[in-house]
Amino acid sequence: MSLLLSSLHTINALFVNKSIRTPCQCQFQCRYLQLQATPTRLSFSFSTIPVVATPLAKPKKLKCQQTRSSLQTKTQDDDGIPVEDVKILVKFKSKYNYIRVIEVSRKADHHFAGSRLLLLDGPGNIHSVSFLFKSITNTYFDVFATLPPILPPGPLGILGFGAGSAARLILEFYPEVLVHGWELDPSVIDVSRKYFSLAKLEREYTDRLFIYIGNALKARLRDGFSGILVDLFYEGSLIPELQDPATWEMLTKCLRKGGRIMVNVGGSCVEAENKLRDGKLVMEDTLKAMHRVFGDKLFVLNLGNRKDDSSLALTGDLPESEGWKKALPRPLRYYVDLWKPYFC
């Protein structure tokens, strides 16, 4: 959702020249700020969180845009949310993150209408999405929720828990699955319990949901994981360890026989605080590192308008599609046919 949450792209609607990020990585960008005293719209640039209109038909995705100069005109075509439709519930700096929780009005004419968004780090990445009256997010979290039916029996690990967007879907759709989530920043979990109903989720699934504070790359269970979801971003970029084949060899050893790993590898829509950490290049380096370990048992799913906008990776043999679809809730079946073999 980085080692901080993130398992992809400030709002100070009100904050000059700032943008908002999440672990998926949706980027909120406050635009026009140097051209007018008060911004009228907040616009989004989706990296790890491309939006899908409906998985039952071909999804509509928001145009992916890199962060641009604040000297933008209001006539520019964007997918902004009027400032009056956004409320900042909390903002503060923790040891690891610049944490913001925003609420989008249900009246807003936007994909995120009626949602709460968890934003971390300077660039404004969205690390979690929660809607009041629905579980489906129409983002890559829904893709994460397609993993359990193709795993052997056993617990599922989420590395980069955030506010629990993926965990919520999995717990609801698969009554037999145990979820173990790791999050580096305790403040993220505290905020999630207060503003994203995580405390309620923990009470409801006392015997199925387990949350740990600490380095996600040190996650271990005695008998291993049946599957691992990796959503690890820091300062707006996939953590450097994911570009090292040794990390994937280590994670593979944490799996039970037949286990798989699904990864949010970001893409060109991810804007890092360090401008040298180009989202597309980091994604490519991560996939190359994975390929050295998994070879031809590596598949990629692209969610953006362009091939390199925002991607996920899956390890293991590609399952038979019809059987996989039948095991999924109807809103998630669309994603099965999007997986393609990875080629360097």
pLDDT in tens, 292-301: 999 999 999 9
**Same domain for 93 and 168:** no
Single pTM value for the model: 0.82
Which of 131, 152, 183 is the last residue before a domain boundary? Answer: 131
Tokens of 52: 């899908």
Note the pLDDT of residue 307: 64
| Domain harbouring 323, CATH code | 3.40.50.150
Would you call 166 helix, strand, or coil by DSSP? helix
* pLDDT of 183 higher than 60: yes
Q: What is the mean pLDDT of the chain?
A: 81
User: Over the stretch 61-84, which tens digit does the pLDDT of each residue have?
Assistant: 322 322 222 222 233 344 567 889
* Host domain of residue 124: 19-131
Among 187, 8, 176, smallest CA distance to 101 is for 187
**Same domain for 144 and 98:** no
Residue type for position 51: V
**Same domain for 322 and 240:** yes
What is the Cα–Cα distance from 282 to 237, expressed in whole angstroms?
Answer: 8
User: Over the stretch 7-45, which tens digit does the pLDDT of each residue have?
Assistant: 333 333 333 233 333 334 444 433 222 223 334 555 443
- Say which DSSP state 58 is in: P
What is the Cα–Cα distance from 59 to 97, expressed in whole angstroms?
Answer: 32
β-pair type (125-131, 41-46) = unpaired
Does 10 map to a domain?
A: no
Which of 69-78, 199-208, 216-225, 321-330 is predicted least confidently?
A: 69-78
Does 5 map to a domain?
A: no
Radius of gyration of the chain (CA): 18
Residue 286, CA atoms < 13 Å, CB-side half-sphere: 31
**Same domain for 172 and 104:** no
**Same domain for 324 and 193:** yes
**Same domain for 31 and 69:** yes
Does 152 map to a domain?
A: yes
Whole-angstrom CA distances from 203 to 134, 186, 206, 323 are 19, 18, 5, 33
Which of 131, 150, 168 is the last residue before a domain boundary? Answer: 131
What is the Cα–Cα distance from 116 to 126, expressed in whole angstroms?
Answer: 10
**Same domain for 237 and 289:** yes
Does 14 map to a domain?
A: no
CB atoms within 10 A of CB 55: 20
The answer to whether the CB of 313 falls within 8 A of the CB of 263 is: yes
| Helix locations, the chain, DSSP H | 140-144, 165-173, 186-195, 198-204, 245-252, 279-294, 321-326
Residue type for position 191: V
Note the pLDDT of residue 23: 38
- Say which DSSP state 124 is in: T
> Which pLDDT band, with edges at 50, 70 and 90, does 305 fall under?
low
Among 320, 317, 242, 327, smallest CA distance to 277 is for 242
CB atoms within 10 A of CB 257: 8
**Same domain for 188 and 66:** no
Among 92, 95, 99, smallest CA distance to 192 is for 99
Note the pLDDT of residue 29: 38
Note the pLDDT of residue 61: 34
The contacts of residue 76 (CB under 8 Å, 6+ apart) are 31
**Same domain for 280 and 147:** yes
The answer to whether the CB of 254 falls within 8 A of the CB of 179 is: no
Number of domains in the chain: 2
Does 72 map to a domain?
A: yes
**Same domain for 122 and 218:** no
The contacts of residue 198 (CB under 8 Å, 6+ apart) are 163, 164, 189, 192
Does 299 map to a domain?
A: yes
The answer to whether the CB of 137 falls within 8 A of the CB of 127 is: no
**Same domain for 161 and 93:** no
What is the Cα–Cα distance from 20 to 11, expressed in whole angstroms?
Answer: 5
- Say which DSSP state 288 is in: H
Find the mean pLDDT for residues 309-338.
96
Residue 5 φ/ψ, nearest 5 degrees: 95, 120
Note the pLDDT of residue 41: 54
Note the pLDDT of residue 309: 79
Note the pLDDT of residue 2: 40
β-pair type (41-46, 81-82) = antiparallel
Note the pLDDT of residue 285: 97
CB atoms within 10 A of CB 239: 24
**Same domain for 200 and 60:** no
What is the Cα–Cα distance from 288 to 245, expressed in whole angstroms?
Answer: 8
* pLDDT of 145 higher than 50: yes
Does 6 map to a domain?
A: no
> Which pLDDT band, with edges at 50, 70 and 90, does 48 fall under?
very low
Which of 110, 131, 152 is the last residue before a domain boundary? Answer: 131
Does 3 map to a domain?
A: no
